[in-house]
Structure 1
Amino acid sequence: MTDHELDVRPLPGPGKHPTIFQAYDALGVGESIAVVNDHDPRHLRDEFEVEHPGGYAWEYLARERGAYRIRITKLAATPLPRVLADAAAVSASSGDATGAVWKLQMRERDLDSNIIALPPGAAIGAHTGPDVDVLIYVLAGSGQLGTELDAQPVALRGGSLIWLPRRSRRRFTAGPDGLRYLTVHQRRRALTLTTAPA
C-alpha cells in the first residue's frame, strides 16, 4: 500500500506533532504515513509510545541531514489497553514529595487521574471542589478528610474508596505515615481549587 506522505518541514515547530497525530488518526488499520522532517523526530516517537504503545510501527526510510523520512504504520484501530503504572511502587517511591507524583499523559482521553502524595502531617487546605465528581482510592498511609460538617471528618486509610461530589467542600490532612491516594474524575480543562468561604 502506498504511504500517505506528510512533509512537516514548512510547519512551525509547535504545529508539527499535532498535524502528524491528526494524519495518523485518520489512517485505517494497516495504512501508513511517511513523515518528512528536517531532524530526527525522537520526541515524536516518545509521544507515540505514550499514546499508542504496541499499536504502531516506526521505520526509518532515510536519515539525511534536513530530510529525515519515517514510515509510521497504524497496527490497531484504537490505542491498546495497557498497564500505566504500578501504583504501589509510585506511592512507595514518592518519599517526602508533596502533590501529584503521577498523572495520565495521553492527549486523547475522557478521564483524568493522579496519584497525590502528602508527607506526614501535611495538609491540603479547605477548598470547594471543581464541577466534577471525583473518586479517591487511598493507596497508603492514613489521614482525615474534612467536610462541610467539621465535627464529622472522614477517616482515611489504605483501601478506602471515597466519593467527592462535585463542588463539595473538603480538606485533607495526612496522618503520621503520610497519605498517598489515587484520584479519578472526568477530564476538564483545568482542575483548579478555590478557597472555601469562612
Structure 2
Amino acid sequence: MGLHVFVHANRNLGQAQTCVDSITANGGSAEALQLDIATPEAANRLEDLATSGAIQVVVYCVGGQIDKPFAAMEFDDWKTVIDLNLTNFYTAVRPLIMPMLRSRWGRIIALSSLTAVRGNRGQTNYAAAKGGFLPLVKSLTQEYGSRGITANVVAPGLIDTAETTGLENYQDLVKMTPARRAGTAEEVAALVGFLASDRAGFISGQQISIDGGCS
C-alpha cells in the first residue's frame, strides 16, 4: 500500500523496533513510537503527528485481561480492563479523525476477540470492553462514512502465538475449533490489510470473525 507505519509501544520499545526492522527489511517504511496511550500527552503527540502528515489508517490492537468470576471481581479489576481495551480507543483514535476528514479517506480497524462474540467464563470485563467495539464502529460509520472513512472490527479466535501455545489447555482449544487448528498471525494481518485498502471501501460498521468457525 506504500504507507509509512508507526509501530506503537507502551513499555516494550524493543519489541516495536523488532517489528519496524521486519517491515523495513521487506522494503517498507516504518518507525517505532513510544507513548502511554492512556495519558492526555499521548493525544497531544498524536495530534502533532497528524498535523505533520495525515495518519490515514489506524489499527487499534490493545489487549489486557484480569480474569475473575464476576462475583469476585473488584471495581478496579473491571475498570482497568475497560479502560485499557475500550476507553483508550478514544485517546488513540479521536485525534486522528480530523486529518482523515480533511483528506476524505481513512481506515479505522479495531482488534477484538472471540470472547466479545461468545462470552467466556471469568472474562465479563474483557467481553464488555471488546464487545463495545461493534456499536462504536457502527456509530463512526454513521458519522463519517460519507467522507470516505470506514470503521470495522476484526475478532480473532485462537491464534498461534508464543502466548497461546504456552497455555496448558492449548490442545483442548485447538480441538474446540471446527478448523482443528489455530489461526496464524499472517492470516489476521491479511484480513486487516484488506480492510485497510481501497478495495474495502464499501465495507464499514462490520465485525468480521477470523476464528476457524468458532462463532
TM-score, normalization: structure 2?
0.25
Q: Which has the larger radius of gyration?
A: 1
Kindly indicate which of the two structures has a greater share of residues assigned to strand. Answer: 1
Kindly indicate which of the two structures has a greater share of residues assigned to helix. Answer: 2
